[in-house]
């Protein structure tokens, strides 16, 4: 069985969060999770329907190791939830500032 690594809240670093979100695909995954405000499978949160599963797994691992998401096995699915409260406590306003900036750049 796969054991997912999730850093403790105090181990979430600014560098790790910024590096994880520097990739446009990971930023889109985060935006998808924010829109749903809940728990999504990797396929539901995928930024592109045709993305290879290995690539998708890589992106979710980076987000998990940065402390941005929590992944739990539920049956045959991996369900992902945002750790927004943990990141907000460490870096207030950071995630929303990044999301708003990305939305402005896309418009």
pLDDT of amino acid 7: 95
pLDDT of amino acid 77: 82
* CB within 8 Å of 93: residues ≥ 6 apart: none
How do residues 49-82 score in pLDDT, each as one tens digit? 788 888 988 999 999 999 999 998 888 888 899 9
**Cβ–Cβ < 8 Å for 61, 20:** no
CA dihedral for 101, 102, 105, 107, sign (positive or negative): negative
Q: Domain residues of the chain, as ranges?
A: 12-106
Identify the three-state secondary structure at position 71.
Answer: strand
Mean pLDDT of 1-12: 88
pLDDT of amino acid 23: 96
Q: How far apart (Å, rounded) are the C-alpha atoms in residues 7 and 31?
A: 21
Indicate the helix (H) or strand (E) that contains 74: strand 69-74
Q: Looking at the domain covering 12-106, what would its CATH class be?
A: mainly alpha
pLDDT exceeds 60 at position 1: no
């Amino acid at each position: 069985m796969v054991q997912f690594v999730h850093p403790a809240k105090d181990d979430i670093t600014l560098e790790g969060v910024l590096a994880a979100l520097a990739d446009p695909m990971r930023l889109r995954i985060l935006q998808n999770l924010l829109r749903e405000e809940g728990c999504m499978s990797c396929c539901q949160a995928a930024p592109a329907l045709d993305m290879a599963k290995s690539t998708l797994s890589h992106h979710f691992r980076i987000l998990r190791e940065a402390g941005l998401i929590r992944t739990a096995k539920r049956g045959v699915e991996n369900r992902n939830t945002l750790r927004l409260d943990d990141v907000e406590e460490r870096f207030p306003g950071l995630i929303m500032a990044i999301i708003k900036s990305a939305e402005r750049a896309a418009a």
